[in-house]
C-alpha cells in the first residue's frame, strides 16, 4: 500500500568540543536516515541534510567541525547516488550553509573569523525550498556555490588568501532587507 504525502527528515549536526560527540552525533543521523528509508520509499519522501560550507572548504580553527561536515556531505552524497541507481523516489537534499546569525554560531567563532552572518529566518526558508523542490545540493547564501567551485578548481588560492590572515577578526552581521 502506497502512502500519500511527503515525509521529510531534516538532518543537522549538533557540535560540541569533543571528538566522540562530533562523530557520535553524525552516526546517529546516518542510523536515523537508514531506519527511515523504508517509510520514505513508500511515501516518496525526502531527506534534508543541513550542512555547512565548512564541509566543502577545510577551515582553520574548526578542524573537527569541518571533518564531521565533510563526512556528512560525503555519506549523504553517496546515498544520493545509490538511490539514483536504484531509481528510488526518495530525494536527498544537501544544504550547504554559510555562517548563520545564531547565538551558538556567534559564540563559537567570536574572535576567530571576520565573516558576514546571514539571518536564520532566510536560511530556514532556503532549507524548506530546497527540500520541497528536491534539489540535490543547494547553497545559502547562493554565492557559496562559487566559493566552493573556485576552491575545487584552484585549491592553491586558499593558501594564498590565508597567508595574510590572523585570528584577530570580528564578526559582521547582515540584517534582512
| 39 in a structural domain | yes
Q: Report the pLDDT value the prediction gives residue 15, as an integer from 0 to 100.
A: 43
Cell matching residue 4: 500519500
- 49 domain residue, yes or no: yes
| pLDDT values of the chain reduced to their tens digit, one per residue, 177 residues | 444 445 555 655 444 444 555 566 667 888 888 899 999 999 999 999 999 998 998 877 778 888 888 999 999 999 999 999 999 999 999 999 998 888 877 776 676 666 778 999 999 999 999 999 999 999 999 999 998 999 889 887 777 766 665 544 444 555 555
- What is the structure's pLDDT at 171? 47
Determine, yes or no, domain membership for 140.
Answer: yes
DSSP secondary structure letters along the chain = -PPPS--EEEE-----S-HHHHHHHHHHHHHHHHHHHHHHHHHT-EEEEEEEGGGTS--TT-HHHHHHHHHHHHHHHHHHHHHHHTT-S-EEEEEEE--B--HHHHHHHTTT---EEB-HHHHHHHHHHHHHTT-SEEEESTTHHHHHHHHHH-THHHHHHHHT--S----EEPPP-
Q: Is residue 109 domain-resident?
A: no
Based on the structure, what is the number of domains in the chain? Answer: 1
Per the CB < 8 A criterion, the answer to whether 59 and 15 are in contact is: no
Domain extent, residue 59, equals 8-98+119-157
CATH number at residue 22: 3.40.50.720
177 within a domain of the structure (yes/no): no
Q: Write down the pTM of the prediction.
A: 0.76
Q: Is the torsion defined by CA of 99, 103, 105, 106 positive or negative?
A: positive
pLDDT score of 43: 92
The yes-or-no answer on residue 65 being catalytic is yes
- Exactly one of 65, 118, 139, 140 is catalytic; name it: 65
Q: Does residue 165 lie within any of the structural domains?
A: no
Residue 84 lies in a domain: yes
- Which residues have a Cβ under 8 Å from the Cβ of 162 and sit 6 or more positions away? 60
**Cβ-based burial of 6 (10 A; exposed 0-12, middle 13-18, buried ≥19):** middle
Query: Within a domain: residue 114?
Result: no
Amino acid at each position: 500500500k502506497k502512502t500519500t504525502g511527503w515525509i521529510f527528515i531534516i538532518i543537522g549536526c549538533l557540535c560540541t568540543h569533543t571528538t566522540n560527540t562530533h562523530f557520535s552525533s553524525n552516526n546517529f543521523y546516518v542510523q536515523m536516515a537508514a531506519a527511515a528509508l523504508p517509510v520514505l520509499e513508500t511515501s516518496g519522501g525526502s531527506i534534508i541534510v543541513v550542512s555547512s560550507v565548512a564541509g566543502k572548504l577545510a577551515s582553520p580553527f574548526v578542524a573537527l567541525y569541518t571533518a564531521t561536515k565533510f563526512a556528512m556531505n560525503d555519506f549523504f552524497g553517496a546515498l544520493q547516488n545509490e538511490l539514483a541507481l536504484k531509481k528510488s523516489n526518495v530525494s536527498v537534499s544537501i544544504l550547504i550553509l554559510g555562517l548563520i546569525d545564531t547565538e551558538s554560531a556567534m559564540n563559537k567563532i567570536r574572535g576567530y573569523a571576520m565573516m558576514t552572518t546571514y539571518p536564520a529566518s532566510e536560511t530556514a526558508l532556503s532549507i524548506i525550498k530546497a527540500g520541497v523542490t528536491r534539489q540535490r545540493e543547494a547553497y545559502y547564501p547562493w554565492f557559496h556555490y562559487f566559493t566552493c567551485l573556485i576552491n575545487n578548481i584552484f585549491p592553491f588560492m586558499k593558501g594564498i588568501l590565508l597567508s595574510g590572515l590572523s585570528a584577530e577578526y570580528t564578526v559582521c552581521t547582515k540584517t534582512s532587507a
